[in-house]
Structure 1
Amino acid sequence: MKKDVFKRSIIIISFILLLICAFSSVNAKEDNSDITMVTLSKGGIVIHYPSDWGYSESDSNYSIMSISKLDSIDSSGVGQVNINFEKKAIQGDFYTFLNSTYSSMQKDSSFNLTSSGEVMVNNIHAYEYTYSSSQNDTTIKAHKAVWFEKGGQAYVMLYSAPIDDFEDNLYVFDYMLSDIQIT
């Protein structure tokens, strides 16, 4: 009798788990069914990104393209969850250029560098910086910047988002970085 109750319990629990997995799988497919990948090519860079992101404005003079999560774009066209691509001609050593850039940023009390190091981007040596900054003393944003040099140009791919949204959208930045093409 105890064996029959135990067998029934196992069968019921297995059935419930199967239903939960099937329901979760169907919901996951429905949530992403309308998202496709979009290609954008500009300024010597080719990227692929999900269709729930789109082209947006940037306040940087060196920006060659900027994309944002569509539901984060404000009335001025700037996204609060944003990936910006910049390019700037440099003279001299690339590493010296980077050091001077981040040394000047560290003088600003709203800037907090949390990590830095070397990485590879499509067989190109690059530098990664993670930091936070506050805007208007109210909004704290997290940032991840990956810098590389090609042809005397400094390129940066910069992801910025409010602290609460940073981790949830980081996968888009990481995917784009792994798939970026520099022409």
Structure 2
Amino acid sequence: MKKSLIIILFIVMAMVSVAGCTSQSKEENKRFTGDNITFEYPADWVIANSQANDTIVAVADPKSVNPRTGYAQTVVVIQKRRLEGDFYQVYNENYATLFNNSSYQRVSEGNITIGSYQALESTYLVTEGDVKKKQMAIWIQRGEEVYVILCSALASEFDKEKANFDIVINSFNFIG
């Protein structure tokens, strides 16, 4: 049961709907602060609704909304879950299961630093029907909790969106 919940938490990137579209100057980033985290995101992005388990917040590019589905295709979802077991073991088991599914293909994996925290990064391709997405998941352990910053875009757009994802990643911080 634990393994199923963790897999659902971290590998299921539920569709994200865009809500509250507003316009602001492109020079200023917006800031999210809540649930003991803070980060910046692009000024022309919006807070979005996410159906992914354990989501703290999702931000999305409203220009990426698929008119057929109504869901944004360029999103960053921040998730938090209580750590049940060893951080590295949970991470490794999650991706061992994920990559056994032929819809997922590993691109890269490594260690990175987010603020003063050591983190794990996994980038992979996901095929959902006729849609191919590229996702980058950054796992951060803080005490007995795991935070995941999940960046997702169409595979053909991911590299173009990297600078926007970096705004979130490079400004991500814990408060409290």
TM-score grouping bracket, smaller chain normalisation: 0.7 to 0.9
**Aligned pairs (5 A) from 1:133-144:** 133-136=126-129, 138-144=130-136
Find out whether 1:155 has 2:147 as its counterpart: yes
Aligned residue in 2 for 1:55: 47
Aligned to 1:79: 72
User: What is residue 131 of structure 1 aligned with on the other side?
Assistant: 124
Larger radius of gyration: 1
Confirm whether residue 176 of structure 1 aligns to residue 146 of structure 2. Answer: no
- Aligned residue type for 1:95: Y
Pairing partner for 1:45 from 23, 32, 37: 37
Letter in 2 for 1:158: L
Q: Report 1 or 2 for greater relative contact order, CA contacts < 8 Å, sequence distance ≥ 6.
A: 2
Deviation at residue 175 of structure 1 after TM alignment: 2.2
Aligned residues: 150
The superposition leaves residues 64-99 of structure 1 with CA deviations (integer Å, 9 ceiling, x where unpaired) of: 100011212357763200111001111221001101
> Contact 1:87–1:154 at 8 Å: present in 2 too?
yes
TM-score by structure 2 length? 0.80
Distance in 2 of aligned mates of 1:77 and 1:122: 34
- 5 Å-filtered alignment, 1:68-107, equals 68-74=60-66, 78-107=71-100
1:109 aligned partner: 102
Query: Is the 2:42–2:167 Cα contact (8 Å) retained in structure 1?
Result: no
Work out the CA distance in 1 between the residues paired with 2:143 and 2:128.
34
Give the C-alpha shift of residue 121 in structure 1.
0.7
Aligned to 2:5: none
TM-score (norm 1): 0.77
Runs of 4+ in 1 over 4 A off after TM superposition: 74-77
Q: Name the structure 2 match of 1:167.
A: 159
Identity %: 25
CA deviations 1:141-173 (Å, max 9, x no partner) are 001111110021111101100011111111111
> What is the match of residue 23 of structure 1?
none
CA RMSD of aligned residues (A): 1.6
